């Protein structure tokens, strides 16, 4: 999906999914923009407890955290999500609101001020 040239279509496509899976344990992972994309699309996120993920994902509120490199934990959380679809839909709806906290108009002043004030 071409997010850069057609973000509306990309988010529309993402919103048809039930959950975003982000089981990373890559050492260079920084701020996970893909999590914000999931929030914009109204998806809960299942992600690993890795780098900055827990700064954004709050267990049971906007997603779920699993241990890194733990296939069984990922499988169990995916099964839980399938068995608790309404809970995941509710989280996804809230995530659309959460995504507004990361809009450039809110984030840029903080970044700008931290460097130039």
pLDDT at residue 102 in the model: 80
Residue stretches of the chain with pLDDT short of 70: 1-3, 104-117
Q: Where are the alpha helices (DSSP H) in 7-103?
A: 7-14, 33-41, 53-56, 71-83, 85-99
pLDDT at residue 115 in the model: 67
The CATH number of 7-116 is which of 1.20.1290.10, 3.40.50.2000, 3.40.30.10, 3.40.50.620? 3.40.50.2000
Domain residue ranges in the chain: 7-116
pLDDT at residue 64 in the model: 97
Distance CA 108, CA 95 (A): 20
Which residues contact residue 6 at a Cβ distance below 8 angstroms, ignoring those fewer than 6 apart? none
Residue appearing with tokens 């982000």:
22
pLDDT at residue 62 in the model: 94
pLDDT at residue 111 in the model: 53
- Name the residue among 17, 23, 69, 70 with its Cα closest to residue 39: 17
Which pLDDT tens digit goes with each residue over 74-89?
999 999 999 999 999 9
CB atoms within 10 A of CB 32: 21
pLDDT at residue 116 in the model: 67
Bridge pairing between strands 20-22 and 45-48 = parallel
């Amino acid at each position: 999906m071409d997010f850069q040239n057609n973000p509306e279509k990309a988010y529309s496509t993402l919103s048809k999914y039930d959950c975003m899976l982000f089981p990373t344990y890559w050492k260079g992972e920084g701020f996970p923009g893909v999590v914000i994309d999931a929030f914009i699309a109204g998806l809960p996120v299942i992600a690993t407890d890795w780098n900055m993920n827990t700064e954004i994902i709050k267990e049971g509120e906007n997603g779920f955290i699993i241990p890194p490199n733990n296939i069984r934990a990922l499988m169990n959380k995916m099964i839980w999500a399938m068995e608790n679809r309404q809970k995941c839909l509710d989280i996804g709806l809230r995530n659309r609101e959460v995504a507004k906290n990361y809009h450039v108009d809110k984030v840029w002043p903080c970044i700008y001020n931290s460097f130039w004030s």
